[in-house]
Structure formats: structure tokens, C-alpha cells
Structure 1
Amino acid sequence: MITDLETKASKENYGKYLKRLTLRKLRGFTDREVTFDFPVTALVGPNGGGKTTVLGAAALAYKSVSPGRFFAKSGKYDASMQNWSIEYELIDKEHTPRLSVSRTASFKQLKWNRTALDREVLVFGVERTLPATERSKLKAAVGGSFAAAREVTLDPEVTQHAAKILAKPIEGFRQLFVDTAGKVSLFSGLTPRGDGYSEFHFGAGEASVIRIVAEVEAASPGAMILIEEIENGLHPMATQRMVEYLIGVAHRKSCQVIFTTHSNDALAPLPFKAIWAALQGNVIQGKLDVKALRTITGQIQAKLAIFVEDDFAELMVLTALRSHGGIELDEVKVHAMGGHDPAIKVNTHHNVDPTATYPSICILDGDQAERANPVNGIFTLPGSSYPEAHVLERVLDCLDEEAGRLAVALHLGLHAQERVKKVVTERALTNWDRHTIWEQIGGDLDFTSGHIVKSAFLTTWAQQFPEEVKALVAGIGDKLPLRDGNQS
């Protein structure tokens, strides 16, 4: 499904789609571009970093969203809004069947000026998780004499999807309309014994999920869905299931989704191109998770941050540092960024940030040797190819001598060394993608987890090729924090 959506976005196979926006001047942003290369986009960043600014900028491309929803003006106190400007590149085949459409939104002469397009846009703000008892619009539903103007049983599609997100059945739930115009509503549910209860007795997250799913399922194909802080009121697993649901919506209904989040669980189902970080006037595309953001913004105490391309590179660097010894590992934070470009960009941003309290470096895969620049803190891992391929080849070189230790590291015992040799040798011959070989080897060896296989191979590599470990650490030089009395 994700591959299909990536292809659909790259081929621009949409009737309505926001392709890119450029923040010429908007709050803390100047000349910053965000591209929407996947139809479900996550915006991450620290508080005040600009996530909601980007979300609101996307909304302003369409007439159905009032500028005041995200960018209200408070008299003379908002003079800084003058000359704010956003540029858009959009697909709107009703307007221009074959070409992209360019539009602008700007704030001049004390008002917004837009050349916005028509599109259904759903906006779910943080207020959606307010308990029903605190929502003034529902006061009319309080009291023993209340009767709904209209009652509607939730569609099976709504109950099916909401139940998957919440991990609980919601058959028999209804939407109760408070007013005859149908603009104010609440939900009612049933206990396992069949007793009814209203939204006044729902959990805030439960009501939020049902409301989002009900409105999204009722939306027209091609609609835009904007959600602030998607994890509000949700368990971490429910947050992940909500994002998985929205990916399905993008696939089924050609909808476009943009949400803000502080949760790694919300990022887990997404490809790296679907994630943008907003950082103090800058925007960076890539899988910049919340832990990495906390490191960059100084919320985690450290003496050095290291940005690498992916999870295997992260584990390889940590294995090398641990094997080398003498390094204060608690003071080093290593983060996978989902590619070489995000790793380089985040490293550059961190080192030019005047508020940063410690330096960072970037360690790329060996196939990126031409981009190494030690002066700018950019280094490479050993080898001239993917680190997975390099580690595999190194272990194959010493497999006859080290099969026993490798078997023990794989939690299989010394007696399994011949079997380990056979499996590793065969997989090395038949595997087409070195990124997947660890899971394949693990599957052949009694379903050992891929993480255990990676760790076992990396430990063997570090023990048998200490010169490569030493060269990697020596290349970083004096940037590594050392334990007292140790020298690199």
C-alpha cells in the first residue's frame, strides 16, 4: 500500500493534491519549502518549532478554511504579520487538467489576500479531546429531559475502523444530533451488557477517534484532512493504528492527510519522505524522530550527537564505540535519520545553531565516501558499500574460524555452528537485498529476531576486525567524550 501511494504521488495521479508550499515569510520561516511526496505527512518538532504553522499554511491553499483558523490577527499586537506570504504548487484537474496550478496567500494592508482553490478540508484541532462536560456546545444535552433532534446509528465502516484503532467493539454506537441543523452532536454507546451511555461518560480519546473516523468516512474522495497533535488522548498503540488507518484512507479515497505530532509511534508506519521536522525557522525532511529532536534541542544531556543513515548504521556505530572502550557512551547520542541527505542537513543545522550546547557529527554509509568532509563533521563507515554488505563480507571471511562464537551470539549454542555456517553461506549466495538478509538468516535459524542477528554479526565484525573499529573512532578524533584517564 505504501509503495502504491509513493508511486501515485510521484506520478501526480490525483484530482486534487497539494504538491508543495513555500513559506516566503511566515512567523519564524523565511524562504523554506515543504514538499508532500507522500499523501500522509507527519510534522514533528519541538514546541514552538513551527509544526502548526506549516499545517496552517497548507490549509490556506483552500477556500473552505478561514485564515483566522490558524493565523488570527490581534490588532496592533500582530504588526509582524505584515507581508507574510505563502506560495503553492497544486494539482487541481477540475481547474487545469494537465498542469500544476500555482497559487499564493499573503497578508497585506491588514488582511489576507488569497487565490485559493475549492476542496473539502477537514480540520481536527486539539479541542477535539476536551471532555464532553467541558464543551459549551453540549450544555443543551445535559439534564434528564434531553432528547436528541435526530439519532443515527454509525455506519458499519465507521464502527469497523474505529474498533480497530481502539481495540474494542463499538457495535450499536450512535450519533446524537443536539440541534435540528445537525451542526452539534455527541455519541452514545453500549456496555457489554447492553446498557446505554452517552459521550459524557466516554474517554476523551475514545470520543475523538470515533468522531475523526465518522467524519473522514463521510468525506468526499480527494478531501484534505488536517489533524493537530494526532496522539492526544490516545494510547501509543492506538496512535500507530490511527496513522495506519489514515494511510488506508489515502489509499481507498485518494485523500491527503497532514498531521502534527510529538509521538514516535505516529511516525512508525510512515516512510522517511512522509516526515518533516520544523526546527527554529528551518524544515528538514526525513525520519527525524522525537528522541533525535530532544537531542538537537538540548532536552537530553549529551556531549556529542551522531547522525547516521539508518538503524543498522546506528547499531554499527554503537557497537564500534562500545568495542573500542574508554568512551563515555552515556554522553553520546546516535540517531538514525532515514537517509544521507537528512543526516547531513540535521548535522549542519545543529552545528550552526547558536543555542546548541554540544557539537554533532554525521557518519554516512561507505558508499557515500565522496560526501565525506571531516572539517564539516561528515565521516563514513568502513567499506565502500552499504554497511550491511560490508559486515556480511567481513564475517564470511572469518566464518570457518568464528562460526562457534557466532552461533553463541545468535543464542543457538556452540553445537549449532555447522548449521549456522550453512545458513549464512547459502543466504549470502541467494539474497538480493543486503538490507533484508538479517531477517532472512533469522528466519532460517528457528525464527531468531533480525535484531539479534544484526547484533551477533556486528559483534563478530568488531572483535575480528579491530583495525576498522580503531580507524572509525580515530577518524572522529577528539569529538568523542572519553572517560577520565583515557585517551582516544
Structure 2
Amino acid sequence: MSFLHRNLTQIWDQLRSKKNQSQDFLEELRIEKLRGIRDLRVPFSFPVSVIAGPNGSGKSTVLFACACAYRPPSKTWGIVPSKLFPNLQTQGSASPSDKSTGTVFEYYYLSNSTKTRMRWAKGKTWNKSFLGKREGIQPERHTYIRTLSNLTNPSEVRSILQMGKSTFTQEELTADLIAFAHRILPVRYRGLTLLKRRDNKDLLFAVRENDEESYSEFHMSAGERAILRISKDISQMNDSLVLIDEVEAGLHPVTQQQMMLELQRLALRNNLQIIVTTHSSVVIESVPQDARIFLDRTENNVVIQTPYRDIIQKALYGRSLNKLSILCEDDVAEGVIMGVLDVLNPRIGIAPDDITVGRDTGKDQFGQHIEALAKFQTLDSFVFILDGDARNLENSLRSVGARHGHAISLLFLPSNQSPEVWLWSILTAKCDDYATVLGTTVEDLQRKIQLIDQIYSGASDKPTNINKNKLETLAEELNRTVPQIARLVAAGESQSHKGEMKVFVDELSDAIIAWRNRY
């Protein structure tokens, strides 16, 4: 585990603990009848949430709807839906116009430690209500929203260019305002100056260490400008809702990860709730599973997908280019596959890094994964390997691929049983072959297996569970793990060129060669 990932894991635990003590939190948003969204509920369970999905899936719509949840403290109005969701109205019934009557935003909050709800509804105008509660009040909280257009909008640039012709004030930014940026960017600043006009337009000037000349943000990279702007805007915010659209824009992958770490540290330190949208797998993987929200558009709605396993995420969000991905059920199956690849890769000239093996997905979820991968046209770079006792699913899974015009690559591990049953039967029958590779003598391995069989002789559980427990007991005796034993046995069986293992090895070899010929 890298140093950065250890920091992320530590901050996740701290944020979960802090969440349990929160007095103000936007817990859920519901959107009805807007931009192809019929009815969508988006829960927020972690202080820093990442919304992902393909273009047009509604990420920015959700973010903008969140921006209308609160009003600033001591003010009558905050951001209203009509500002972020304007309609074009033209004269004449035949002229094109925006029609969004019936749109509803519902918010479910924790406000001052009390559960509360509010609704924005669109009739002729936008109106808010409190779902039957008389004299309800919109919860108060500072809200910050930053979009990609804020960073690149040509009209913004043109207006700032006129700053030199008008009266402005000059403000030196303090060290704490740029500390956030210093922890992310590889450069160090001796000073940052903000030029401000009366209309609140402003311009950053920077002076780097060991440099005398200052330069404005017109001469900054897109990433440098984005981080400095966000640093200036949110580093001193407290108990606020922070919304950032396409947070990775202009940033190198390493900088993206560092940015997400610092945002989560800031959320912990300043009691912030942060919601960002992204197309980046690096950003997605910088938050825990329960903070990842995947949107997908169907024929008549937008829905939340079950969080993809890491291997699916990497395929959908750009980390698996020119790699073959193998998806299996669990770590024992992974051990068997890795053992086969140990023998097969040198034989057919495949580098180990060319193949990624993913696991921890139930056999019933394979159909969902095939559907998702088909939408992103990545099925050709996947091999699906199920346990031997899942052969009854073959026709249904192949039909899912066929609906999308693909003949999926679907294999099954040796035998008609689970890999645990298969492994125990091999070990029982072939102590002579595997004692040495397992680091013991034939007599000792036979004795251990016989004793374990006696211990579980009266067990009434399923064969898979019984043999799983047997393997775990043996692994503990041998000071190994079950996947390690599975890998060693599978490698040995692959070299024997006999029986069911030979069939599996040949099928996997054919699938790898077919993938290599395509790419």
C-alpha cells in the first residue's frame, strides 16, 4: 500500500467518525421530471462524495440541484433553481421553448441535529414547501459551487482583461489561504496577490520562490489556476456545502489523487460536506466505496448503478487500455487462475502485466457487469470465469452478451464443483505431488489431511463450505493462505496436461490469443 493510499484510508476512517457527530448534512436528494430524469434518488452517506457516469448521465444536474438546498446564514434567499435551470421562452406557439413544468427537487437533511425535508416545485414559477410542515424554514448553510465554465469561460476572461482600465483594490493572500495549494502543486509561492474590482471580479497574481517577476493567472496552466482558485475560495470555509464540477479538469492523475486527499482533509478539519463530479478513475478510487455514486441513463430515466468492483471501474474509466481483464468470483478462484497463468503466460508469450484478474463478485452479478461493459464497448477485452458449479448460468449470460451483439468469452473452472471441493480432492489424491511445494513431507501432509477429514466428518454444511473450512485449517497448519495453496496446485495441474484442467488451460489459452490478435 502506497504512502498516499495509507493517508486516504486513515482519513476515511476519521471522516466516518466525524459524520456520526454531524449536526448539518444533506443526506438525500430526489429529482423528478427534469432533463430526462423521471424519478431519481441520490443518497449521500459520506462527507466527500464522488458522482461519476458517462456524458449525459445527469452528473451536473444533480450537482446544480444540490446547490439549491440551502440559503446562506442570515439571508432570505440562497441559490434558486431558476438561476441554475433557466428556461428559454419564445413568443408564438410554434416557436421552440423550454418546458419543465412539474419538476421537483426534494431534500432530506440533518439540520441542527434534526431531520427535516424541503421541496422545490416548478409550476409557472419555482416554489418551495416543507412537505406538510407549517412555518418551515429552509436550512441555512454556506454553499460554494465551482464548474468547469468558471475556469475557462471566455466572457469571464474578457471582463477581467478590462481590469487594468478600471479602479481596483489589491489584497495579499495569507499563507493559510495558499497552504491547500502548496500541498498539491509542485511549485512554491513567495506571494499571491488578488486584484479586486467593485463588481467582485478579481484576478490572481503569483510570485514563485526564487523568482522576482509576478505573473497573472492568464499565464498559469489550467491545473495551477484551478487549484489556486479553489484554495482561495474554500480553504477558510466552515460548516459549508462545497460543490465542484469535473474536479479533475486540467490535473495530472497524481495531482488528482493529492487534490482529493487535501479536499478530504479540509472536510475533516472545517466540517465541510463536499460533492464532486468526475470522469476520472483516479478521483473515484480516492474515496471509499460508499462515497462513489455511479449514474447511468436508461430509456426513460437516470438510475444509480450498484458500485462497480475495481476491475469494472478501471475498464469503464480508462485504466485498462491494452490489458486483458479476467473477472472471477473470489480469492480462491483467483488463486487457481493465477496458477494457470504462471504456466500459460511463458508458453504463449504474454507478460504478466498484460492481464488483470479481478474478483469478489457474486455469480449473480455477472449479468449486470456484462450489461455495463457492453455499454462502454469493452466486452472484447474481458474474460469471465465462473466456478465449476455455476455452469447452469452459461446460457443466460451468453444471451446478455448476444443482446448487445457480443459473443462473450465465458469459461468455467475445472470440474462441476466449487474450486474448494476440487482443490481438496486433488490434495487428498496427490500428496506425493504437492508435499514438497507446500513445504512439508508426504507423510506430514497425509497425516494433516486425514486428521482434518476426521474433524469435519460429521459436518452437515454444504460441500463448498466444508471444504473451504478444511482448506483454511490446512493453510493455517502450513503457514500459508488458501489462495496460495490454490495457486500452487493449479500450476501443478496445468503442467500435467490431463483431464479437466487441460480443457480449462486450452480454453483460457484460446481466449488470451484471440484477445491478443484483436489488439
CA contact (8 A) 2:69 2:107 kept: yes
Residues paired across the two proteins, number: 417
Aligned CA distance change for structure 1 residues 470 and 19 (closer, same or farther; 3 Å): farther
Deviations 1:279-333 (A, max 9, x none): 22222242566643269xxx9899x986567999779757757867999x99x99
Q: What SS does the aligned partner of 1:266 have?
A: helix
| CA positional deviation for 1:206 | 0.9
**Greater CA deviation, 459-468 or 241-250?**
459-468
CA 33–291 in structure 1, closer or farther in 2 if over 3 Å, else same: same
Q: What amino acid maps onto 1:186 in structure 2?
A: L
Counterparts of 1:371-386 in structure 2, within 5 Å, are 374=394, 376-377=396-397
Does the 8 A contact of 1:123 with 1:225 survive in 2? yes
1:179-190 to 2 correspondences below 5 Å: 179-180=197-198, 183-190=200-207
Distance across 1 between alignment mates of 2:514 and 2:360: 31
Deviation at 1:138, TM superposition (A): 0.8
Aligned equivalent of 1:42: 50
Instruction: Structure 1 unaligned segments of length 5 or more: list them.
Output: 405-424, 439-453
- Tell me the amino acid that sits aligned with residue 52 of structure 1: S
Cα deviation for residue 169 of structure 1 reads 1.0
Aligned match for 1:106, one of 79, 100, 121? 121
Secondary structure in 1 aligned to 2:171? strand
Distance, in Å, in 2 between the alignment partners of 1:16 and 1:169 is 35
- Please say if 1:212 is aligned against 2:230: yes
State the one-letter code of the partner of 2:172.
Answer: V
Q: 1:140 to 1:91 in 2, by over 3 A?
A: same
% same residue: 23
> Judging changes above 3 Å, is the alpha-carbon distance between structure 1 residues 79 and 138 closer, same or farther for their aligned structure 2 residues?
closer
Residue 60 of structure 2 aligns with which residue?
52
Amino acid in structure 2 at the alignment position of 1:60:
C
Contact 1:343 1:362 in 2 (8 A): no
Match status 1:253 vs 2:253? no
1:285–1:342: 8 Å Cα contact kept in structure 2?
A: no
Where do 1:381-392 residues align within 5 Å? none
Aligned-pair CA distance for 1:80: 5.0
Displacement of 1:123: 0.5
Alpha-carbon separation, structure 1, partners of 2:34 and 2:69: 14
Instruction: Give the structure 2 partner of residue 3 of structure 1.
Output: 13
How far apart in 2 are the matches of 1:234 and 1:210?
12
**Structure 2 regions of 5+ residues with no counterpart?**
1-10, 72-77, 91-95, 131-137, 398-409, 440-472
- The code of the aligned residue for 2:116 comes to V
SS in 2 for 1:82: coil
| Partner-residue secondary structure (3-state), 1:165 | coil
483 and 374 in structure 1: CA distance in 2 versus 1, 3 angstrom threshold: closer
Shift, 1:15, TM fit: 1.8
Establish whether residue 462 from structure 1 lines up as the match of residue 482 from structure 2: no
CA–CA separation in structure 2 for the residues paired with 1:341 and 1:40: 31
Encode CA deviations 1:228-270: one digit per residue, 9 max, x unaligned.
1111111221111110111101211221111111112212321
Taking structure 2 as the reference length, what is the TM-score of the superposition?
A: 0.63
**Corresponding position of 1:284:** 305
Given that 2:329 and 2:362 are in contact with CA atoms closer than 8 Å, whether structure 1 keeps it comes out as: yes
The residue type equivalent to 1:172 in the other structure is: G
User: Equivalents in 2 of 1:59, 1:472: separation in Å?
Assistant: 57
Q: Partner of 2:86: helix, strand, or coil?
A: coil
Deviation at 1:337, TM superposition (A): 8.4
Report the equivalent of 1:173: 192
Q: Give SS of 2:85's match.
A: coil
Q: How does 1:146-161 map to 2 (within 5 A)?
A: 148-154=168-174, 156-161=175-180
Q: Residues 86-117 of structure 1, C-alpha deviation per residue, up to 9 Å, x if partnerless?
A: 33321111xxx34x222223323354646553
Verify the 8 A CA contact 1:24 1:30 in the aligned structure 2.
yes
Which position in structure 1 is the counterpart of 2:452? none
Alignment of 1:72-471 (within 5 A): 72-75=86-89, 77=96, 79=98, 81-93=100-112, 97-98=113-114, 100-109=115-124, 111=126, 113=128, 116-130=138-152, 135-142=157-164, 148-154=168-174, 156-177=175-196, 179-180=197-198, 183-191=200-208, 192-221=210-239, 223-280=240-297, 281-287=302-308, 291-293=314-316, 336=358, 346-347=368-369, 349-350=371-372, 374=394, 376-377=396-397, 400-402=435-437, 460-466=488-494, 470=501
Structure 2 Cα separation of the partners of residues 162 and 354 of structure 1 = 35
Structure 2 Cα separation of the partners of residues 342 and 158 of structure 1: 50
Matched residues in 1 for 2:359 and 2:103: separation? Answer: 31
What SS does structure 1 have at the residue aligned with 2:179? helix
TM-score, scaled relative to structure 1: 0.67
- What RMSD over aligned residues (CA atoms) do the two structures have, in Å? 5.1
Shift of 1:170: 1.8
Paired residue type of 1:6 = R
Separation in 1 of the partners of 2:232 and 2:203? 12
* Match in the other structure for 1:414: none
Deviation at 1:74, TM superposition (A): 1.9
CA pair 269-355 structure 1, distance change in 2 beyond 3 A: closer
How far has the Cα of 1:224 moved from its partner? 0.9
Distance 2:117 2:150 in 1: 33
